[in-house]
Amino acid sequence: MFKQLGNIASLMKQAQQMSGRMNEVNDQLRAKQVQGSSGGGMITIDANGLGEVLKVTIDPDLIARGDGEMIEDLMPAAINDALVKAKQLHAESMKSLTSDMDLPGLDEALDRFVGGNSQE
């Protein structure tokens, strides 16, 4: 019984440490940027590591042609590309955060979070 209490105390201590480190990781992710694109770079999306969209760039020629339908088609693809890259950054940060913790199945769960081997 006392061994179980020691295990619980150890887990509580790890949780407190992880909470503080998680705030640091979030700050780092907020400062990192990824870029997604579609249409051969006709639309680019800049996002941070938390998946927050920071900037949208649309090729001026695409705007000049007035091709709203193409913009509507390319925009979600560019956003999704950026979000996949942000998730990958997030998962890498989580793996480094939890690398010293012995949690069975954690790596597999993080891989599923980003969709396995995603395209870059």
Residue 55 maps to which CATH number?
A: 3.30.1310.10
CA angle 103/11/9 to nearest 5° reads 155
Look at the chain and report how many structural domains it folds into. 1
Per-residue pLDDT tens digits for 12-24: 777 777 777 888 8
CA angle 89, 90, 92 (to 5 degrees): 65
Structure tokens at 12: 């509580």
**Which residue range forms the structural domain that includes residue 30?**
2-113
Question: What is the distance between the alpha carbons of residues 13 and 17, in angstroms, rounded to a whole number?
Answer: 6
> Residue 6 — very low, low, confident or very high, per pLDDT cuts 50/70/90?
low
Residue 39 is assigned to a structural domain of this protein: yes
Asked whether residue 120 is assigned to any structural domain, the reply reads no
pLDDT tens-digit map of 93-104: 888 776 666 555
Instruction: Tell me, yes or no, whether 34 lies in a domain.
Output: yes
For 35-77, the pLDDT digits (tens) are 999 999 999 999 999 999 999 999 999 999 998 999 999 999 9
Answering whether pTM is above 0.75, one says no
Structure tokens at 5: 């209490």
